Amino acid sequence: MNVVWIFILYHSVLGVRCTTEDNLPNFVLIMVDDLGIGDLGCYGNTTIRTPNIDKLANEGMKLNHHIAASPLCTPSRAAFMTGRYPVRSGMASTGRIGVFIIAAASGGLPTEELTFAKLAKQNGYSTGFIGKWHLGLNCERRDDFCHHPLNHGFDYFYGITMTNLRDCSPQHGTVFCKASEFKLIVPTLVLIILLHFVGLVTVPRMLLQLLALLVTISVIVFALFVFTFPYFNCFLMRNHQIIEQPFAAENLTQKMTNEAINFIQRNRKQPFLLVFSFVQVHTALFASKAFRGKSNHGLYGDAVEEVDWGVGQIINKLDALGISGKTLVYFTSDQGAHLEEISSQGDVYGGSNGIFKGGKSTNWEGGIRVPGLLMWKGVIQEGMQSDEPTSNMDIYPTVVSLAGLKVPSDRVIDGQNLMPLLQGKTKRSEHEFLFHYCNSYLNAVRWHPRESNSVWKAFFFTPNFYPSDSDLCLDTHVCFCMGTYVTIHDPPLLFDLSKDPSEKNPLTPATEPQFYSVLDVIQEAVVNHSRTLSDVPNQLSVNNIIWKPWLQPCCSSLTNLCVCAKDQETATSEKDTELK
């Protein structure tokens, strides 16, 4: 805080009236979707060019042991926004599906949650959210916007409330075709009917008619769903208004970057908090013309390099406005790279998790060890690094306290203020334990004992890979958290990440004398942790993730299939706000 004090002193000596707002730093919090830690130059990639992101590392703090609170978008983002494990807000599913996949569903971040934006706003911050939200939209009516960013402390929103999916760009194929079990049901039913007519099986007439009806309905429903997906789920909003439906992927990274820069420009004279949540590098992948075909790693690499360009634009803008010294920039990914993302032509559409095992949807390190870069000129020393366990939930208390506020005391906050670590005042992280959930199931625990360099990690279960000699769940596209999809370990599978970061060799009582004593402490920590949990409404229950026609956002009449012209307004809206 030295800089802040000098600033205050300077102002009082000169007799300048010094409002608290003058001393509050700005925040630019950047999150990329599904970016792997192994995709960045500063984390060891030699073939993807990410000079701008690397600059954040060189001129700030690089966290080498930065952990996402969940290996899936919706829960990870809920934890990021609230500083709390997703189970605390009901944003952790008890079923198979762990994220929202339909815009007209009723689940989302509960209004009672206090995001860092809601708090910062109380202290005069101008707050903006640009990009992917994925934390819900409406509750009961299609215009109540109960889960919308503007209802969670943001003054300005430009982006998508859902996630980008392959289905949003039809030529990219469909996740639903792949994941859906319709593709098995329909041929099975057809086969039964055929067998009946050939005379190999006898099916009662009534049942036969029922089967035929089922086939027809399945085919129609599925075809409708695939066909209407982009129109119903892929739309771009400015504040409460849909401005493009379905959204055009072309130039979207550019458009979002311009929005972010304009937000900074408009708010340069007051403290601001901007969350810039890139829609890339989640599939469907896209890159603007200037980047397409330019990287060494196909469309995926092109998309990463365009994201890097976007980050560069932001850094340049802060420099040009002379506010780099009063702006904390954070860069991360919501979880590890999605290794199962391979196109039907065999193109690799998922990134690299470097030396770490597994990827998105698993709590192997590859699913949750994410980039963590923080730059604040003059406050964070250049070229710092830390191997201490930190979490994406730590941004919450860090931002809240820098914004001059106290973290709420009426609820459990799981993040820890990063400033002592960032300013070199301590070498240790405050996180002794981190709990890793697969949806709502406690999957693993990480323990960094206070007096030791070890980082123990115990798994209570692990996903069953397919093919079994891979680190992938290729049959289901993501790994699931329960039932026949996992193997339970009793005693838990134990690793020491400080010696085995790739989680190759589980320890045994023979190889690790502390085996049982470590597990005992972890078990006790789990008991303590469970005592802090309370029952909350499940935002990802079946009822909260299914399509509810009355919640369907639609910018035109349904007969027009909810199609709206391209976004024409960017320029005008900027001028409007500039005049304010």
Ligand X SMILES: *[C@@H]1O[C@H](CO)[C@@H](O)[C@H](O)[C@H]1NC(C)=O
Binding to ligand X by CB under 6 A, coded x per residue (else -) over 7-46, reads: -------------------------------xx----xxx
Q: How far is the CB of 383 from ligand X (least distance, A)?
A: 21
Give Cα 67 distance to the centre of its chain.
12
Any idea what DSSP says for residue 333? E
Which residue in 66, 134, 338, 431 is the catalytic one? 134
Least separation in angstroms between CB 53 and ligand X: 13
As measured in angstroms, the least distance from the Cβ of 361 to ligand X is 17
* Residue 525 binds ligand X (CB under 6 A): yes
For ligand X, the closer CB: 351 or 389:
351
Stretch that binds ligand X, among 147-155, 214-222, 246-254, 545-553 (CB under 6 A): 246-254
With b for 16 or more beta-carbon neighbours within 10 A and e for fewer, the 381-395 pattern comes to: eeebebbbbbbbbbb
CB neighbours of residue 535 within 10 Å: 6
Q: How far is the CB of 48 from ligand X (least distance, A)?
A: 5
Q: In this chain, which of 19, 47, 470, 508 binds ligand X, going by CB under 6 A?
A: 47
Rg (CA), the chain: 24
* Closer by beta carbon to ligand X, 366 or else 372: 366
Q: Does 351 bind ligand X (CB under 6 A)?
A: yes
Q: CB of residue 47 vs ligand X: minimum separation in angstroms?
A: 5
Cβ 84 vs Cβ 413: under 8 Å: yes
C-beta closer to ligand X: residue 140 or 524: 524
**What is the identity of the amino acid at 479?**
C
Of 76, 258, 352, 361, the one binding ligand X by CB under 6 A: 352
Residues 6+ apart with CB under 8 A from 175: 165, 166, 167, 477
**Residue 200 or 527: which CB sits closer to ligand X?**
527
CB nearer to ligand X: pick between 33 and 39: 39
Q: Which of 94, 218, 239, 251 binds ligand X (CB under 6 A)?
A: 251
Task: Classify each residue of 546-573 as buried b or exposed e, where b means 16 or more C-beta atoms within 10 Å of its C-beta.
Answer: eebeebbbbbeeeeeebebeebeeeeeb
CA 475 – CA 15 distance, rounded (Å): 68
Residue among 83, 79, 87 nearest 539 (CA) = 87
The packing angle between helices 395-402 and 73-82, to 10°, is 30
Q: Does 102 bind ligand X (CB under 6 A)?
A: no
Nearest distance from C-beta of residue 408 to ligand X, angstroms = 22
Residue 248 makes contact with ligand X by CB under 6 A = yes
- C-alpha angle with apex 471: 470 to 473, nearest 5 degrees? 90
DSSP 176-217: HHHH-SHHHHHHHHHHHHHHHHHTSS---HHHHHHHHHHHHH
What is the SS3 assignment for 420-487? HHHCCCCCCCCCCEEEEEECCEEEEEEECCCCCCCCEEEEEEEECCECCCCCCECCCCCCCCCHHHEE
**Touching ligand X, residues 378-437 (CB under 6 A):** none
Q: Quote the least distance from Cβ 339 to ligand X, whole Å.
A: 10
- By rule CB under 6 A, what string of x and - marks binding of each residue 270-289 to ligand X? -------------------x
Q: Select 116 or 435, whichever has its Cβ closest to ligand X.
A: 435
Reply yes or no on whether 134 is catalytic: yes
* Residue 348 CB, nearest approach to ligand X (Å): 7
Q: Is 173 left (phi over 0), alpha (psi -120 to 50) or beta?
A: left
Q: How do the residues of the chain divide into helix, strand and coil, expressed in percent and rounded to 5?
A: 35, 15, 45
**Taking CB under 6 A as the criterion, which residues in 504-523 touch ligand X?**
521
Least CB distance to ligand X at residue 93 (A): 27
Would you say 48 or 73 has its CB closer to ligand X? 48
How buried is 129 (Cβ within 10 angstroms: 0-12 exposed, 13-18 middle, 19+ buried)? buried
In angstroms, what is the minimal distance from the CB of 353 to ligand X? 9
Instruction: Please pick, from the candidates 84, 147, 148, 297, the single residue that binds ligand X as defined by CB under 6 A.
Output: 297
Q: Report the C-alpha gap between 291 and 305 in whole angstroms.
A: 7
Is the Cβ of residue 25 or residue 36 nearer to ligand X in the bound state? Answer: 36
Q: What are phi and psi of 482, to 5 degrees?
A: -150, 175
Q: Residue from 7, 150, 179, 250 that binds ligand X (CB under 6 A)?
A: 250
Give the other-Cβ count within 10 Å of 226's Cβ: 17
CB of 395 to ligand X, least distance (A): 24
Single out the residue of 314, 352, 349 nearest to residue 333, CA to CA: 352
Query: What six digits make up the tokens of 138?
Result: 């409406």
**Closer CB to ligand X, 221 or 565, in the complex:** 565
Identify the active-site residue in 42, 73, 234, 564. Answer: 73
User: Residue type for 71, please?
Assistant: P
Q: Shortest CA distance to 361 belongs to which of 277, 480, 444?
A: 480
Choose, by CB under 6 A, the member of 140, 319, 347, 524 that binds ligand X: 524
Query: Quick check: is 152 catalytic?
Result: no
Residue 138 or 253: the one with the smaller Cβ distance to ligand X is: 253
Beta bridge partners of 462: 487
Residues 276, 129: Cα–Cα separation, whole Å:
6
Distance CA 294, CA 300 (A): 11
The residue within the footprint of ligand X, chosen from 354, 371, 372, 415 (CB under 6 A), is: 354
Whether 147 and 123 have beta carbons less than 8 Å apart is answered as: no
Q: Which of 24, 30, 42, 48 binds ligand X (CB under 6 A)?
A: 48
Q: Which is nearer to ligand X, 242 or 519 (CB)?
A: 519
Contact pick of 83, 108, 110, 301 for ligand X (by CB under 6 A): 301
Scan residues 526-555 and list those touching ligand X (CB under 6 A): 528
333 sits near ligand X (criterion: CB under 6 A): no
Contacting residues for 19 by C-beta, under 8 A, at least 6 apart:
none
Number of residues that bind ligand X (CB under 6 A): 21
- Residues with a known catalytic role: 73, 134
Q: Rule CB under 6 A: which residues touch ligand X?
A: 38-39, 44-48, 248, 250-251, 289, 297, 300-301, 351-352, 354, 521, 524-525, 528
